[in-house]
Amino acid sequence: MVSRTSDRGFIEWHPSVRLERSEGDGTATIGAVTDPQGHATADSGSREDLDAWGRTLPYETTANVEVPARLLDQVIGQDDAVEVAKKAASQKRHMILIGDPGTGKSMLARAMVDFLPKEPLQDILAYPNTDDPNEPKIRVVPAGKGKEIVAAQKLEAAQRKEQRMLLLAVVAIVIFLLAAYVVWITPGHDLTALLIAIIVVIFLYVIVRFSSGRSDGANTVAKLLVGHQPDERAPFIDATGAHAGALLGDVKHDPFQSGGLETPPHERVEVGAIHKANGGVLFVDEINLLKIESQHSLLTTLQERKFPIVGQSERSAGAMVKTEPVPADFVLVAAGNIDSVQSMHPALRSRIRGYGYELYVHTTMPDTVENRMKVVRFVAQEVVKDRKIPHFDMGAVVEIVREAQRRSGRSGQLTLRLRELGGLVRVAGDVANSDGARLTTAEHVVRAKKTSRSLEQQIADRYIERRREYRMFATDGAAVGVVNGLAAINAQSGMSEFSGIVLPIVAEVTPAQTRDGGVVVATGKLGDIAKEAVQNVSALVKKYTGEDISRYDIHIQFVGTSDGVEGDSASVSIATAVISALEGVPVDQSVAMTGSLSVRGQVLPVGGVTAKVEAAADSGLRRVLIPEDNMGDLVLESRYRGMIEVIPVRTLRDVLKYALVGKGTAKDSLLERLAAMVHATSRTDVGGDRVPPPSGRPAGT
């Protein structure tokens, strides 16, 4: 649990202790408590402990959990999207699903097939065109009839060929008999006639062989482009990553284009995903990766509900072939991340919006008892789908729920990045199998967490080890202008997990080298947002210290950041380092910190707080300063209990109070000036009480 002292700053993690205070005693309730195993839950203490909740579950194992039969009922945490998907499928509307990877977009699209109107499917055939061979004819027949038609035509062609070969055999026999008679009556039995007969038979066979395609009807046999069974479900076609030919259809190249060896154009026609999806659902993930030309063709298909097949390569003989329009009446479900919308063809998106829905799927869901039960069902679903791992007992399920809390990165939330959470379920099951266990237990899940660490976390672990070896940051003592910042490594990789690292920041203040004024120089391959954060901090330092920093050159170095730095969560670290260097007050090197700063000195929430605190603990640091609004987001594993002290801060003054060391005049004077500045710039309500800074979604990572 969390205890909090009256000075509104220091907290310490204690097992089995819960402190709740009201505004009446001058402090605010902190929205983070820990369970008996040392994990900070996503609750504010109003709900029962997670382990106690696990003991109340009505199941012994996930084998007792009922898994819904319909795929759409298996979607977790996307209730709004499920309702929209049902409406879109029943009315045959198109959809755009935007959201993070692994949140169930493809599952939603696949499940829409069950709600499509019951309509008969169609077989699609291609026939030769005697008037223009390069424009094969298209015929549509009921499902199942296409195979019958093709089989009947092939049988008829085979019979014609058999008749021709039989006729050739009879002619050959007659020729050989005549040749034998000539040889018999010729004096000396000259075999020249027999040799001539053999040559004639071979010549006739060649003529029959290479003309049979035209005369026996083999070239007139239709090609079945799309076939179905009469009782078959509507098709679901995943065209993610398909190139133009696979999406829109293509015509094969014919290396033999004359001399009777050529393949008829209609035989070289190949349908695309849009034609296979006729009467069903076409799913295209990462829609922005399609070429603009392909997106435009997709738009045409949505408008006309049919699309001709043409050769996609200009160097191919198929480039001259263009079929009649082929039916392509489907429900399009386009998916992607938020940047996918910006890269979509404007007209294609407009078409979908005008005749369908746009939906942004959730990445988290509230941590309620009902939603926890959905996670329990999710674990059961994954076990059933995998078919190779043992079922989970309720202790293991509680660990999965706890990990869902942790990966959400927010207070009172559970992650919906279920694909990655499902990976943990499967790894835990594999660990149980390797132990020969009948059930997967909590111990197996804990071991699986180590085994299934993301690449970013593995890199971060080695990163921390390497920095320890080279002593790139200190964990004790004090130093002027040196701060142990915290960062989330590769936070934009698309994974739900953050991996924290210690990011040393060093500041040095020197007299300006020119009369035009000082400059602020920040090194470390900074991104745009990080550069802007440095500029904001410079203005903040000037205001809060009262110094005319135009008389100084301020150098800020992000140590060991060859891969670059982006985001504004290092703002408090930068400000602390610069103020320390400017005032000559040392910084406690056992303290790490993270947080964004407003231009008024308020510490704003950031992302990846749990990973950053864990990185600080792994690095041997003893204290961490984090934004007060992030306190509810902490979900620490039990192994960190007693290793680290977490201190919530609200303003820059709070940061300096715990980061700077010494009781001398310099520190006290600085804090007094900051207190006066904060009081002068803080907003007040009608009664004169201070209005706390706004909270909300983390400002950056």
Q: Where are the beta strands (DSSP E) in 72-206?
A: 94-98, 122-127, 137-142
Q: Which of 679, 701, 549 is nearest to 630 (CA)?
A: 701
Distances (CA, A) of 183 to 136, 177, 295: 53, 10, 74
- Give the Å distances, CA to CA, from 282 to 94, 112, 298, 349: 10, 10, 11, 15
For 141, the token pair is 């027949």
Q: E strands within 43-136?
A: 94-98, 122-127
Whole-number Å distance between alpha carbons of 11 and 3: 6
Which residue blocks in 488-592 are alpha helix, DSSP H? Answer: 528-545, 571-583
Rounded-to-integer distance, Cα 411 and Cα 41, Å: 8
Residue 385 annotated as catalytic:
no
Inter-helix orientation angle 145-185/192-215, to 10°? 160
Rounded to whole angstroms, the Cα distance separating 403 from 189 reads: 99
Cβ atoms of 553 and 518 closer than 8 Å? yes
- Spot the catalytic one: 322, 612, 657, 667: 612
The vertex-330 CA angle with 328 and 336, nearest 5°, equals 115
> Using CA atoms, how far apart are residues 640 and 37, in angstroms rounded to an integer?
10
| Residue 633 structure tokens | 């987001």
* Alpha-carbon span 111 to 233, nearest angstrom: 12
- The number of C-alpha atoms within 13 Å of 546 and in the hemisphere containing its C-beta is 11
Q: Do residues 144 and 229 touch, judged by C-beta distance below 8 A?
A: yes
Question: Given 297, 340, 499, 569, which residue is catalytic?
Answer: 569
Alpha-carbon distance of 506 to 325, in angstroms, equals 67
Q: Is 569 a catalytic residue?
A: yes
Q: What six digits make up the tokens of 164?
A: 């021709």
For 618, the enclosing helix (H) or strand (E) is: helix 609-618
Cβ–Cβ under 8 Å, residues 331 and 341: no
The CA dihedral of 693, 554, 608, 586, to the nearest 10 degrees, is -90
Active site residues: 569, 612
